[in-house]
Structure 1
Amino acid sequence: MIFAGEALADFLSQSFDDHVKLIFSAEDGTEVMRDYTPRSFDPAKRELTIEFSLHGDGFASSWAAGASVGQRITMAGPRGSFIVPTDYDWHLLVGDDTALPAIARRLEELPAEAVATVVVQTASEDRRQFRSRSTFGVVRVDHPQDLLREIEALELPSGEGYIWCATEAKVAARVRELLVVEKGHGKHAIRASAYWKDGASAHHEKFGED
């Protein structure tokens, strides 16, 4: 979905995993807030693209399915960008459906000399073809346990690499544990986040950024 308008004149998103907060109005007048990744932004046109998963069982999904041209929404952020350099020897991107916009944006922003591996668990029919100037490979699985098995079996490359992960809370915590505790990857070079939590709404959490 594309958002446009003069209010975006000073919009800035410097990191692939930035979040903007969309603020919806429920029927009873209360505010409903959800975090979304800025997929792309055209400063000349002042057009911001955000991807919605139309799974049909969430407030934001239902709003997006019924949105029309000219409809207005309140948006805030990004509050600040966490910049991950692109010059690591290798990059590992791990995620589920909620992480696909950030992963796609990261791959598109990597330089030609970069090397990346993507492990994604998609419960939806989203089997997009990623684009990148970098050399990259993609492993796709259907279930969270399959994703964890892939991470368990993964042999990390030599050299200095950076790992980025965004999934359901328990899965993200386990991915970080596997990579940091069991495989010895440095805490300084991994960012693991919960983009959602089973049984909760509007959940966002980061693990071990110490």
Structure 2
Amino acid sequence: MTSETRNAPSLERVRHELKKRDLEVQSVERITPSMIRIVLGGDELADFTSLAPDDHIKLFVPDDKGMMVMRDYTPRAFDYEARSLTVDFAVHEAGPATAWAIAAKPGDRLQVGGPRGSAVLTGEIKRLLLIGDETALPAIGRWIEEADAGLEIEAFVAVPDAADSQSFKTCADLAMHWIYRPGGEANNPEPLLQAVKDVACGEGTYVWIAAEARVAKAIRTYLIEELAHPLTWMKASGYWVHGQADSSEKSIGEVPPRPA
């Protein structure tokens, strides 16, 4: 057993009561040209729990036929005292959830389910390497903003334009890299691959990848085959699949960290 395997991070899977909550839109803000931020509120959030940056909730939205469908989104932020839940929507080819977000206004209602559970990562993590596209920005934002003081974080995020860059408040030691490529090329791995070509993956570096499935797979393969990064120090997810509505690959070739 290698030292990387012996000292791999621990993963505690925390289950939450699965319930559906009826919430009200409190505010809608276009924070960048490609991102809409919606704050939801309601007393039904009194027992809401989200313990990990890449948790997922289910949003129940109408499709173009008026039927209710479910879509996965990251809880961007939660304020227990205010009973408010923030969700960021990447504006791309408008599926039902994106269409709902574009039309949303204060006072609208939305049903939210979950999260079903949280995968809480702990261990001797010295450095985080975060790689993703605009759909991963809500989770990346949480990773950055919830990090402990002094943790080294390097993030590479592909977005359509410089105007789509975001800023984050953090106690971590953050190095942020924005990669600009047209939204229509979000399934092309090359822009992100070129950006991470010379990245340092030293001991104690945990890598988190989330993007279109083909892109996430290509980056994962590069880090394993070219940089010899250990599987137990990595998680890759396809948050969406090009050409397939409501499709994802949440755990690409995952070797889970040892149980806590």
TM over 0.5: yes
Pairing 1:207–2:252 present: yes
Pairing 1:186–2:230 present: yes
Match of 1:149 among 190, 194, 197: 194
Describe the SS at the equivalent of 2:112: strand
TM-score w.r.t. length of structure 1: 0.93
Which letter maps to 1:21?
Answer: K
- Preserved contact between residue 104 and residue 130 of structure 1 (Cα < 8 Å): yes
Equivalence for 1:101? 138
Describe the SS at the equivalent of 1:81: strand
My pick for the range that moved more, 34-43 or 146-155, is: 146-155
Could you list the runs of 5+ residues in structure 2 that have no partner in the other structure? 1-37, 182-188, 256-260
Could you list the runs of 5+ residues in structure 1 that have no partner in the other structure? none
Paired residues, what number? Answer: 209
Structure 1 residue 55: deviation in Å?
A: 3.8
Give % identity.
37
Describe the SS at the equivalent of 2:197: helix
User: Which structure has greater strand proportion?
Assistant: 2
Describe the SS at the equivalent of 2:118: coil
Root mean square deviation of aligned Cα: 1.6
Point out 4+ residue stretches in structure 1 off by more than 6 angstroms.
Answer: none
- Preserved contact between residue 119 and residue 140 of structure 1 (Cα < 8 Å): yes
Structure 1 residue 150: deviation in Å?
A: 1.9
Equivalence for 1:50? 87
TM-score w.r.t. length of structure 2: 0.76
Equivalence for 1:166? 210
Equivalence for 1:127? 165
- Preserved contact between residue 62 and residue 69 of structure 2 (Cα < 8 Å): yes
Question: CA, structure 1 residues 164+37, in 2 after alignment: closer, same or farther (shift >3 Å)?
Answer: same
Kindly provide the CA deviation profile for residues 42-99 of structure 1, in whole angstroms up to 9, marking residues without a partner as x: 1112100001123463321221121122221221111111112375111100000001
Describe the SS at the equivalent of 2:102: helix
The 5 A counterparts of 1:62-77 are 62-77=99-114
Q: Which has the higher contact order (CA 8 A, sep 6+)?
A: 2
Match of 1:140 among 178, 190, 209: 178
